[in-house]
Amino acid sequence: MYNTVKIKIKGKNVTRFIQKINKNNIEIYNIDKINRNEIIIIINYNDLDKIKEVKTIYEIEIINYYGINKIKKQIKKHEILLFCLMIGLVLLIFLTHIIFKVEVIHNDPKLRNMMIKELSNYDIKPYKMVKTYEEIEQIKKHILNKYQNKIEWMEIERNGTKYIVRLEERIKTKEKKETENRNIVAKNNAVIMEIDAEAGDIVKKVGDYVKKGDIIISGSINLNEETKSLVSAKGKIYGEVWYQVTTKIPIHYYSKQKTNKKQNWYYLKIGNKNINLFHKSYKNSINKKQILLKNNIIPIMLIKEHQQEVKIKEKIYLDEEVTEEAYNQVKKEITKKLNQNEQILSIKKLKQTKKDSKIIVEFFISVKKDITSFAAIKEDLDVRDNKQLP
Amino acid sequence: MNINKIKNYVLENQFKIIYEDNKVDIVNYQNMGHFDDNKVIVYYDKGIVEIKGKNLIIKKLLKDEVLIKGSIEKIEFR
C-alpha cells in the first residue's frame, strides 16, 4: 500500500462532508460508516492537509498510517531501541574481531613461550585485532623461515576470539660420523658410468656391472694381499640403472587447476540457504571456511570463506594420446626424483593394455643415478693384529 | 464517431456500471448528486443513475469510480 492514512471524521451528517471531499478531488479508498455522525476513511497522506483545510465543524482523528510513513513513524517511535540494537551489533562485530586468547599447543614449555613471544611481535596477542587470512599466512611464513632449525611445521587457527597455534618441532638427526672405516658399495644393480674417488682403493672400473652391495671403493688398503690399514672410503659413484614402470591413465581424465584468482567470500547461512554479502562465490574453487559469527539458538551463521579459484579440466583420451600422456607422466615423475647430476637415459614402451576404464602402459627406463652407498668394515682379528704391530 | 469509439476504448473513459452481489461499481461518473442510507444519485455524461435500496454505503469514492454497497433494490437510469 502506498502512503495512505486512516482517519476518523466526527460531525453532524458526515455524508455531506464526504461530498465536500469528493468535490475537492480527494480520493477515498475505503469508507466505513460507524453511525450517522462518525465515519472512518482511508485517503492519500498528501490529501490530509486538504481535508484539514475543508473540515470546518468536523473533527478529524488520525487512526493509523500505511506505507513508508508507517515505517517512519515506527522507527521514530522505537528510535532508542533501534539505536541500542545498532550499537550492540557494531560492538558485537568489533568484539568478535578482537583476540582474547592465544594458545600454543606443544609439550615443550620453552618452545611454547618462545612462540608466544614471537607471535606478540606480529601483534598476535590478547586485546589486539584479529588478522586476515593473508596476514596469517605471511606471519607463518616469516616464523617458519626464522626458526627453520627449530620448527618443522606450524598452523595458526582462529576459533572465535581465540588463536590456537599448533607446532611440530624439528627433530635433528645426528649426522653419522664419517670417520668410521667403511667401503663404498653399490646401492642398486647397475653398470658403472662414473667413479669419483677421494679416499680408498677403487676395485671396479667404469663399464663394470655391479650387483647391489658389491664393493666399488674399498676402505681396506692392501699391500701384497695383506691388509695394511683401514680407511673411510669417500667418493661418488654414478651408474646406469633400469626400472620397469607401469602407469595407469584413466580414459576419462578430470583435474582441477588453480588460477591466480583468490577472494574472501562472506555470506550468511540461514538454515540451508546461503546469502551473498559482497561478492558471489566462484563457480569452482578450493575453499577454507571460517565461522565468524554463530548463534546456538537461531540457525544463522556469518561465514568467511577463503576461495582459490580452480579450473576444471575434463578430457577423454584417444588411444594414441594415451602413450604420449603416459610417457610425459612417467618422465615427469622420474625427473622429480632425480638430483642435479642424475638424468634419464632412455624410456621405452613395453606394453599397453586396456582394463576397465583405464589404460595400463608399461615402460622400461634407463637412468644415470647416484648408486653410492656405504657399508662399515668389520675388522677381523688379523687386521687388528696388524694394527697393533708397530 | 469511429474516432470517439477508439478514443473511449484506449482511454477507457466510457461510463460503466457493474452490479454484482449487492455491490454497484460506477466508473467514469461526472459527480455525486446525493447520497443517504436509502438512495444514491450519480451524474454521468448522458443523465442520472439513481440507486435505491436499504443501508446503502459508499465504500470507495475516487475521482472516476464509486463503489456502493448495501441491499440494492433498484437501479434507475434517467
Mean pLDDT of A215-231: 79
Domain-wise residue ranges, chain A = 4-75, 101-169, 180-251+317-390, 254-312
Residue A16's nearest CA partner among A42, A40, A36, A30 is: A36
- Which grid coordinates belong to B28? 467514469
Inter-chain CB proximity A28 and B62 less than 8 Å: yes
Chain A: give the shortest CA distance to residue B34, in Å: 8
pLDDT of residue A385: 42
pLDDT of residue A91: 93
Q: Answer yes or no: is pLDDT of B72 > 70.
A: yes
The nearest CA of chain A is from the CA of B59 a distance in Å of 5
Which residue did the predictor score with more confidence, B70 or A294? B70
pLDDT at A28: 92
Residues B21-68 have pLDDT tens digits of 889 999 999 888 888 889 999 999 889 999 999 999 899 998 889 999
**Residues contacting A358, CB < 8 A, separation 6+:** A248, A249, A250, A251
Please give the interface size between A and B, counted as residue pairs whose CB atoms are below 8 Å apart.
Answer: 30
> Is A22 an interface residue toward B (CB < 8 Å)?
yes
CATH architecture of B15-77: Sandwich (2.60)
Q: What is the pLDDT of residue A314?
A: 82
B54 touches chain A (CB under 8 A): no
Residue A389 has pLDDT above 70, yes or no: no
What pLDDT is recorded for position A79? 92
What's the pLDDT band for A387 if we cut at 50, 70, 90?
Answer: very low
Residue B49: predicted pLDDT: 94
How far is the C-alpha of A201 from the C-alpha of A199, rounded, in Å? Answer: 7
- pLDDT tens for residues A282-292? 888 888 888 88
Contacts of A21 in chain B (CB under 8 A): 61
Q: How far is A41 from chain B (nearest CA, A)?
A: 9
Average pLDDT score over residue span A182-198 = 88
Q: By CA distance, what is A27's nearest residue in B?
A: B62
Compute the average pLDDT of residues A126-153.
90
What is the value of ipTM here, to two decimals?
0.76
Query: In b/e form, how buried is each residue of A79-92, taking b as 16+ CB within 10 angstroms?
Result: eeeeeeeeeeeeee
Instruction: State mean pLDDT over A77-91.
Output: 94
Q: What is the mean pLDDT of residues A214-222?
A: 84
Question: Which one is predicted more confidently, B7 or A152?
Answer: A152
The answer to whether B35 faces chain A, any CB pair under 8 Å, is: yes
Distance CA A384, CA A181 (A): 13
**Residue A9 confidence (pLDDT):** 92
Residue of B31, B32, B62 lying closest to A27 (CB–CB): B62
Mean pLDDT (whole number) for A295-320: 83
Q: Which residue has the higher pLDDT, A99 or A15?
A: A99
With beta carbons less than 8 A apart as the criterion, state whether A362 and A243 touch: no
Q: Does A24 touch chain B (CB under 8 A)?
A: no
Q: What percent of chain A is predicted at pLDDT more than 90?
A: 24
Q: Which residue has the higher pLDDT, A297 or A289?
A: A289
- The DSSP annotation for chain B comes to -HHHHHHHHHHT-S-EEEEETTEEEEES--EEEEE-SSEEEEEETTEEEEEEEEEEEEEEE-SSEEEEEEEEEEEEE-
Confidence of residue A333 (pLDDT cuts 50, 70, 90): confident
**May I ask the CATH architecture of the domain A101-169?**
Roll (3.10)
Q: Quick one: pLDDT at residue A235?
A: 87
**Is pLDDT of A39 > 50?**
yes
pLDDT beyond 60 at A388: no
Closest residue to A31, CB basis, from B31, B32, B61 = B61
Mean pLDDT estimate for chain A = 85
User: pLDDT class for A360, splitting at 50, 70, 90?
Assistant: confident
Look up residue A351 and give its three cell numbers: 606394453
CATH number for the segment(s) A4-75 = 3.30.70
Out of A32-46, A179-193, A217-231, A261-275, which region has the weakest mean confidence (pLDDT)?
A: A217-231
Confidence band of A383 (pLDDT split at 50, 70, 90): very low
B62 neighbourhood in chain A, CB within 8 Å: 27-29
Give B69's pLDDT tier (boundaries 50, 70, 90): very high
